[in-house]
Structure 1
Amino acid sequence: MTLLHNPVIRGFAPDPSMVRVGDWYYVATSSFEWFPTIPLHRSRDLAHWEYAGHVEGAVPGDSLAGVPDSGGIWAPSLSWDGERFWVVYSIVRSVGTPYFDTDTYVATATEAAGEWTAPRRIASHGFDPALFHDGGRLWLLNLQNDHRPGGRRFAGIVLTELDRETLAPVGDTHLLLQHERLVEGPKLVHKDGWYHLVLAEGGTGFEHGVLVARSREITGPYELDSQPLLTSRDDPSLPLQKAGHGELVQLPDGSWVLSHLTARPLNTPNGPRCPLGRETAIQAVTWDAEGWPRLRHGGPHPSIEVDVSTHPRSSEQPAPSADPLGWPWSTLRAAPDPSWADAAARPGWIRLRGRHGPESWWAHSLLAQRITEHRAEAQVTVEARPTTFTQAAGLVLWYNTESYLALDLTWAEPEGEEQRGQQWRDRGGRTVLSLVERDEGSTRQVAVVDVPTESAFTIGVTVEDGVARFWSLGAHGVRTPVGPELDFTRLSDDHGSKLRFTGAMAGIHAVDLVGAAFTADFTGFRLSCG
């Protein structure tokens, strides 16, 4: 037996889709507007997970430029047909509208970390697609979206058979189930003559859950279980909240587990917030006398510690990435490109060329890594010489274009002079550290500190108890605070008025709004969590 500790994949790893292939378990998670697209993790024991690559080329044209925050790739579904991996996913191009404007794609690979086929577009009924392989036949499950005024926006779960070679629809689309609560994220399992339809219920926030329906025929009709398989919505004191979006997987010894998303909230004066985003967890499952799946420990609540019957952890260690800009780095809306992110220009450094500002959906020069624990610290050494207020580079705590904290090296007018564009440039100006807080519709500069420009210097941030404290490193390693304490919990799904689905990141960025030529060099980036 192996004891796992949930979440097993920590920090911004939502909508897990898990499959077993031989002795390995693989999980695909949502990437939204971030690259690499569709991160993949693998494990032998379900407790210790390692990055196993991603679905490269998942976005036609390799660009999500213009896609809004929390758009992009939603809820990929990973499957195995005995010979190759399949992944199906939707690219959502409109968030917060009735249409969603989804494009649904399928790609395949013989190895998860290998080369994936070019994505092929298939029927796009709505987001959260899944594939089910059944006796040589291929079925597409999907949420049906009804955009019409007065319609049911989430209009039930539909099923369409696809031709395995052409991926064209075969026959009619079948409506499997509608429910008074929102159901999405459909997955199918065939066991003991029953088709079990596993559903995400109630949305992806604190009301989330997993519900199961079943039928003797794949096309229905489906009867709903009288109780949820998993939820934490009835007990706000549970350490694992938002439990939902599940998938059942059978282990080699015949036992079962459920992969699902969850979140670890911080209590704040504004209610619980989960800045780490939604994460991946696993529960042990048994089947009751009537043939319904149940959590092995009883009840519907997620457990932190779970015993599973798996192989011992492999002694093999994954090879470190040969790419200094590879995982765990992530980038917005496109993969890193040497034209703006160069690890070869100066050995041991990363050179970023400034492009759009941090609120751009198009070309923001940002490299970031996931924050995985509520206590974290990030620091980096930066060298740059901005000559205008339109140039900046530094350290960011990032959620999206409307929620971030940035400590940037930039240019400002001489102290005491009015801020009126570039008229003071001939009189020298000064180099400063500028601490900026962006929160939906409002941006404020909370601190300005003069700094020397003769050499590189180190800046950092410490996050603890939901508070972010920025600092610079002075002589003899002394940390000097920059600005006041700031609310880190605003960088979460649970703050603001718009839909949010990702998680907080720490990283480096550069901006040059006029010439797109200003560069900044960074070295020694370190993010420690826990």
Structure 2
Amino acid sequence: MNTINPLITNPILPGFHPDPSICRAGEDYYIATSTFEWFPGVRIHHSKDLVHWRAMPYPLTRKAQLNMEGNINSGGVWAPCLSYDNGMFYLIYTDVKSRVGAFKDTHNYLVTASDIEGPWSDPIYLNSSGFDPSLFHDEDGRKWLVNMIWDHRKGKNHFAGIVLQEYSVQEQRLIGPAVNIFKGTELGLTEAPHLYKHNGYYYLVTAEGGTGYEHAVTVARSLTLQGPYEVDPANPILTSNGRTDLPLQKAGHGSLVETHTGEWYMAHLVGRPVQDKHCILGRETALQRCIWSEEGWLRLATGDRYPELQVAAPNVTPHPFEPLPDKDHFDQTVLRNDWNTLRIPPDPSWLSLTERPGYLRLYGMESMSSTHRQSMVARRLQTFEGEAETCLEFAPDHAQQMAGLILYYDTKDYLYLRVTHHEEKGLCLGIIQSRYGVYDELMEEDIPLTQGNRIRLKTVIDHDRACFYYSLDEHSSWVQAGKWTDITHLCDESPEYIRFTGTYIGLCVQDLGGTRKHADFDYFRYITS
């Protein structure tokens, strides 16, 4: 056992990093996670030791690969599967166009690259029968797609099982019959299939119980690829269900990797709630060490089924990476890869890092309610305590032009410290809130800004609440704007339906009059506690 760096600390990918798919290429390890409506699509992290992780360039960077303009909240990229075979990386992903009600429009695609940093190919369309597609590379060279199948019909089990179909590399399409190889267990909601072959058995790892607090990982096995599959008598092999005392909740959606030293690990999804059951950071990624039992079943190394905060690392030399600076001066020509845009790619029509060097310039577009063209650049909130600040230059002409610092979950839930123009006060500052779709303004009156249009903005976050501050120059102290505000609505749990992303901290500009008024941001600083 590695005694130099013996522990993996969970979650290994804090903040919005759900649905992990882990793979190994030689002595390098990669995890792909869902990005939903955020662009670019599919986040990939790299590690040499399973302890330290760094973000890699995104694979889905152009509209030809991923066109999400108009996608619904928590639509877009669901549950990617990253695999490696014979010198080639394969990435399968779903672009979800509808998800609420009886029907789900879930289009599944494949892209490939010989280098994890790309370039990645244009997508090959596979099917739309369900979501959570995964590619299995069998020992004989054949490749097989598995995905859950969605049955919309009344009285049917909507999670209708796991479908297997062969993929032809030569023809770049699915061939042969689609076979339902597994109907699931009594836990229900069977999804997230991954196939593995070990000691003569095909192992089917699935997620069941839903992606909330009853989430779980279940396993079945067969001597033949198409089954029948025997259910593990100890299922679920991983869950947090029934253990409200655990710091890691929602454990499920597992993916396996064997290290180059012959050790086994499972990457899986978790959530860390605040104030009862509010996961403001979204669903995160954790790792658990695994072993194989004498009967040939996969087990957690601890001997039980519950996720651990700290796990023994593999027997490899530690390999830390240099972290990104906490302050982005916007002095590059492209955005750093900790930034995302909402649904649409950054392009010069609305975003520039070169028109005013050292500044991020955003041209105002649609409102925070839009699922089409928002002018927003944002990064994940990754800790329960922290603060973020920016310096904004903005000269609005009327109240339909706004710019500022936003805590954003989706079009229905955000908290926004915005600068705008008032007919009588002129340039002013106020706070907008949307809570489960209900609009509000949290200050009795906007604050007049009388000393020019360069304003520093800051937010401080403390678990279930946040507070905004402002300053009119670099030498002035911070002035509190409004009160400490509950932010538990910025979470996966909603009164209407479960959601799948996480809280972002963003910079944004709106021009509802359509004149594209711009704002310049001098820097952005994110400090974690």
Instruction: Give the TM bin, normalised by the shorter chain.
Output: over 0.9
For 2:164, the equivalent position in structure 1 comes to: 159
**Is 1:489 aligned to 2:494, yes or no?**
no
Match of 1:523, SS state, is strand
Listed as ranges, the matches of 1:259-274 within 5 Å are 259-266=267-274, 268=275, 271-274=276-279
For 2:348, the equivalent position in structure 1 comes to: 338
**Is 1:365 aligned to 2:385, yes or no?**
no
Q: What is the identity, as a one-letter code, of the residue corresponding to 1:409?
A: V
Unaligned runs of 5+ in 1: 415-428
1:61 Cα deviation from its structure 2 partner: 6.1
Listed as ranges, the matches of 1:128-277 within 5 Å are 128-134=132-138, 135-179=140-184, 180=186, 181-226=188-233, 227-266=235-274, 268=275, 271-277=276-282
Q: 1: distance between equivalents of 2:34 and 2:219?
A: 22
For 1:420, the equivalent position in structure 2 comes to: none
Q: 1:444 aligns with which of 440, 443, 456?
A: 440
User: CA 1:40–1:285 in 2, change beyond 3 Å: closer, same or farther?
Assistant: same
Q: 1: distance between equivalents of 2:461 and 2:256?
A: 36
User: CA 1:404–1:124 in 2, change beyond 3 Å: closer, same or farther?
Assistant: same
For 2:461, the equivalent position in structure 1 comes to: 463
Q: 2: distance between equivalents of 1:319 and 1:394?
A: 23
1:516 Cα deviation from its structure 2 partner: 3.3
Deviations 1:34-87 (A, max 9, x none): 011111110001011001111134753653110001000100001111210001
Between 1:46-55 and 1:446-455, the stretch displaced more is 446-455
1:317 Cα deviation from its structure 2 partner: 4.5
Q: Compute the RMSD of aligned alpha carbons.
A: 1.7
User: CA 1:319–1:439 in 2, change beyond 3 Å: closer, same or farther?
Assistant: closer
User: CA 1:95–1:58 in 2, change beyond 3 Å: closer, same or farther?
Assistant: farther
Unaligned runs of 5+ in 2: 326-330
Tell me if structure 2 keeps the 8 A contact 1:463–1:488: no
**Is 1:29 aligned to 2:33, yes or no?**
yes
Match of 2:57, SS state, is strand
Q: What is the identity, as a one-letter code, of the residue corresponding to 1:363?
A: R
For 1:73, the equivalent position in structure 2 comes to: 77
Listed as ranges, the matches of 1:407-426 within 5 Å are 407-414=417-424
Relative to the length of structure 2, the TM-score reads 0.94
Match of 1:14, SS state, is coil
Between 1:469-478 and 1:168-177, the stretch displaced more is 469-478
Q: 2: distance between equivalents of 1:96 and 1:515?
A: 31
1:453 Cα deviation from its structure 2 partner: 5.4
Deviations 1:62-117 (A, max 9, x none): 53110001000100001111210001111100021322111110011011112111
Match of 1:386, SS state, is coil
Q: What is the identity, as a one-letter code, of the residue corresponding to 2:64?
A: P
Q: What is the identity, as a one-letter code, of the residue corresponding to 2:253?
A: H
**Is 1:376 aligned to 2:380, yes or no?**
no
Tell me if structure 1 keeps the 8 A contact 2:291–2:300: yes
**Is 1:398 aligned to 2:408, yes or no?**
yes
1:366 Cα deviation from its structure 2 partner: 0.2
Q: What is the identity, as a one-letter code, of the residue corresponding to 2:498?
A: L
Tell me if structure 1 keeps the 8 A contact 2:54–2:321: no
Match of 2:488, SS state, is helix
Q: 2:124 aligns with which of 109, 120, 144?
A: 120
User: CA 1:57–1:382 in 2, change beyond 3 Å: closer, same or farther?
Assistant: closer
Between 1:49-58 and 1:277-286, the stretch displaced more is 49-58
Match of 1:484, SS state, is strand
Tell me if structure 1 keeps the 8 A contact 2:492–2:502: yes
Relative to the length of structure 1, the TM-score reads 0.94
1:315 Cα deviation from its structure 2 partner: 6.1
Q: 2:286 aligns with which of 274, 281, 289?
A: 281
User: CA 1:315–1:295 in 2, change beyond 3 Å: closer, same or farther?
Assistant: closer
For 1:8, the equivalent position in structure 2 comes to: 12
Q: 1: distance between equivalents of 2:354 and 2:314?
A: 46
1:398 Cα deviation from its structure 2 partner: 0.5
1:253 Cα deviation from its structure 2 partner: 2.1
Q: 1: distance between equivalents of 2:266 and 2:320?
A: 25
Q: 1: distance between equivalents of 2:52 and 2:524?
A: 25
Q: 2: distance between equivalents of 1:372 and 1:169?
A: 39
Match of 1:379, SS state, is strand
Between 1:309-318 and 1:299-308, the stretch displaced more is 309-318
Tell me if structure 2 keeps the 8 A contact 1:407–1:433: yes
Tell me if structure 2 keeps the 8 A contact 1:251–1:310: no
1:482 Cα deviation from its structure 2 partner: 0.8
Match of 2:22, SS state, is strand
Q: What is the identity, as a one-letter code, of the residue corresponding to 1:162?
A: Y
Deviations 1:344-394 (A, max 9, x none): 111211111000011100110000011101002011111111111110000
Between 1:180-189 and 1:69-78, the stretch displaced more is 180-189
Tell me if structure 2 keeps the 8 A contact 1:353–1:519: yes
1:120 Cα deviation from its structure 2 partner: 0.6
Between 1:497-506 and 1:64-73, the stretch displaced more is 497-506
Match of 1:490, SS state, is coil
For 1:44, the equivalent position in structure 2 comes to: 48
Match of 1:93, SS state, is strand
Match of 1:482, SS state, is strand
Deviations 1:214-256 (A, max 9, x none): 1111101111112211000110110001111001111122221
Q: What is the identity, as a one-letter code, of the residue corresponding to 2:212?
A: G
**Is 1:94 aligned to 2:98, yes or no?**
yes
Q: 2: distance between equivalents of 1:112 and 1:313?
A: 21
Q: 1: distance between equivalents of 2:439 and 2:260?
A: 54
Q: 2: distance between equivalents of 1:412 and 1:371?
A: 31
1:322 Cα deviation from its structure 2 partner: 5.1
Q: 2: distance between equivalents of 1:10 and 1:312?
A: 23
Q: 2: distance between equivalents of 1:314 and 1:373?
A: 23
Match of 2:494, SS state, is coil
- Give identity over the alignment, percent: 39
Q: 2: distance between equivalents of 1:278 and 1:166?
A: 37
**Is 1:472 aligned to 2:470, yes or no?**
yes
Q: What is the identity, as a one-letter code, of the residue corresponding to 1:469?
A: C
